[in-house]
């Protein structure tokens, strides 16, 4: 059974640019969540999508956005990148209909220079 | 405000030396408490979900327990391969959907 796949694994961008990260959840999982992980703040929730609808959103500026497609694949976008956006971005999937533990992908390491 | 605090931040054990990691939480109501293990350069790996005070779950050398204010992850006779960061997270009643509030983790090093 394939796990959660995130692409790309590594990314280097310049301040002011925008970036799109991709996540393919486990087959059959309808909930996809995104988290930002930094050494100082730990794991912080960005947003969650369920059946193409944003179900929950964390305390991040509007530069961070996401979407989910009909096949449950999800993308997140960060516009006007800042140095502080450098982080490991993790995607997690769940069936979405019970208190099932999330399965995380390996993440995308974003470096903003 | 929902909060999760883990202690200690770092722990160094010798192989075979049992210990416990603590996760204290303050939430308006608890849908579930989760334990994850994270190795360097990888995403968190799910270990346990606990739902109500008094509940316990075990997996190999790990045992997780839950009270109304905290959870413990007991590690019995650890091995070097248990070295990792252990993360605790809560799913509060105030969060619709599946948003988890994570603690900052305990970095565990087990030496031979």
Predicted pLDDT of residue A36: 98
Cβ-Cβ contacts under 8 Å for B81 (sequence gap 6 or more): B110
Report pLDDT for A99: 63
Q: What is the pLDDT, as a whole number, of residue B98?
A: 77
Could you tell me if residue B54 is left (phi over 0), alpha (psi between -120 and 50 degrees) or otherwise beta?
left
3-state secondary structure of B80: helix
pLDDT confidence tier of residue A73, bands split at 50, 70 and 90 = very high
pLDDT by residue (tens digit) across A59-68? Answer: 999 999 999 9
For residue B97, list chain A residues with Cβ-Cβ distance below 8 A.
31, 48, 50, 55-56
**Contacts with B48 from chain A: Cβ below 8 Å:** 101
Mean pLDDT of the residues in chain B: 94
CB B90 within 8 A of CB B30: yes
- CA angle A44-A97-A78, nearest 5°? 30
pLDDT digits (tens, 9 = 90+) for A6-39: 999 999 999 999 999 999 999 999 999 999 999 9
Residue B43 has pLDDT above 90, yes or no: yes
């Amino acid at each position: 059974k394939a796990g959660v796949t995130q692409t790309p694994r590594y990314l280097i961008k310049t301040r002011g640019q925008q970036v799109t990260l991709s996540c393919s959840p486990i087959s059959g999982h309808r909930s996809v969540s995104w988290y930002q992980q930094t050494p100082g703040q730990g794991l912080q929730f960005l947003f969650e999508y369920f059946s193409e609808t944003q179900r929950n959103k964390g305390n991040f500026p509007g530069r961070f956005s996401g979407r989910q497609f009909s096949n449950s694949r999800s993308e997140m976008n960060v516009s006007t990148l800042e140095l502080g956006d450098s982080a490991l971005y993790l995607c997690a999937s769940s069936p979405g209909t019970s208190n099932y533990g999330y399965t995380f992908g390996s993440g995308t390491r974003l470096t903003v220079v | 405000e929902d909060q999760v605090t883990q202690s200690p931040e770092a722990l160094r054990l010798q192989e075979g030396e049992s210990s416990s990691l603590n996760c204290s939480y303050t939430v308006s109501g608890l849908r579930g408490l989760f334990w994850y293990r994270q190795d360097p350069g990888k995403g968190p790996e799910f270990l346990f979900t606990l739902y109500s005070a008094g509940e316990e779950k075990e997996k190999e050398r790990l045992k997780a327990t839950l009270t109304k204010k905290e959870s413990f992850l007991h590690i019995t006779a650890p091995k070097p391969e248990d070295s990792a960061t252990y993360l605790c997270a809560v799913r509060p009643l105030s969060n619709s959907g599946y948003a988890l509030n994570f603690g900052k983790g305990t970095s565990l090093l087990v030496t031979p």
